[in-house]
Amino acid sequence: MLGPVILAASRSDKMRRIVSAAPVTKPVVNRFIPGETVDQVIPIVTELAGKGLEVTLDVVGEDITTPGQATAARDAYLRLIERLKPLGLGARAEMSVKLSMFGQALENGHELALANVRPVVEAAAEIGTTVTLDAEDHTTLDSMFAIHEELRKDFPQTGCVIQAYLFRTEEDARRLAANGSRVRIVKGAYKEPASVAYQDRTEIDKAYVRVLGTLMAGSGYPMIGSHDPRLIAITQELARRHGRKLDEYEFQMLYGIRSEEHVRLAAEGHRMRVYTAYGTDWYGYFMRRLAEKPANLLFFVRSMITK
Ligand code: FAD
Torsion, CA 195, CA 286, CA 270, CA 236, rounded to 10: -30
The pTM (predicted TM-score) of the whole model is 0.95
- Is 17 part of a structural domain of the chain? no
pLDDT digits (tens, 9 = 90+) for 45-102: 999 999 999 999 999 988 899 999 999 999 999 999 999 999 999 999 999 999 999 9
Burial of 279 (0-12, 13-18, 19+ CB in 10 A): buried
| CA–centroid distance, residue 18 to ligand 1 (Å) | 25
The residue whose C-alpha atom lies closest to atom 45 belonging to ligand 1 is 189
Q: Which long-range contacts (CB under 8 A, 24 or more apart) does 2-8 make?
A: 2/291, 2/294, 2/297, 3/291, 3/292, 3/294, 4/191, 4/291, 6/287, 6/290, 6/291, 6/294, 6/297, 7/190, 7/191, 7/287, 7/288, 7/291, 8/191
Q: Which domain CATH number covers 187?
A: 3.20.20.220
* Domain region containing 75: 34-281
State the alpha helices, DSSP H only, in 127-276.
141-154, 169-178, 201-217, 229-241, 259-267
Residue 25 located in a structural domain: no
User: Of 184, 205, 271, 273, which residue is the catalytic one?
Assistant: 184
How many structural domains comprise the chain?
1
pLDDT band at 27, cuts 50/70/90? confident
Flag whether 138 is in a domain: yes
Average pLDDT, the chain: 94
Nearest one of 252, 269, 287, 305 to 56, comparing CA atoms = 252
Residue 184 bears catalytic tag: yes
**24 is a domain residue:** no
First to last CA, the chain: 27
CB 162 within 8 A of CB 184: yes
Q: Is 226 in the pocket of ligand 1 (CB under 6 A)?
A: yes
The catalytic position among 74, 92, 134, 271 is 134
304 located within any domain? no
Query: How many alpha carbons fall within 13 Å on the CB side of residue 227?
Result: 16
Go through the chain and tell me how many residues it has: 307
Flag whether pLDDT at 294 surpasses 80: no
Strand partners, 162: 185
- Choice from 182, 254, 300 to test ligand 1 binding pocket (greatest atom count within 8 A of CB): 254
Q: What percent of the chain has pLDDT over 70?
A: 96
Domain for residue 291, yes or no? no
Q: pLDDT tens across 105-136, in order? A: 999 999 999 999 999 999 999 999 999 999 99
Which atom from ligand 1 is nearest to the alpha carbon of 273?
34
The answer to the question of residue 3 being in a domain is no
Q: Supply the residue whose CA is at minimum distance from atom 50 of ligand 1.
A: 226
Q: How far apart are CA 217 and CA 210, in angstroms?
A: 11
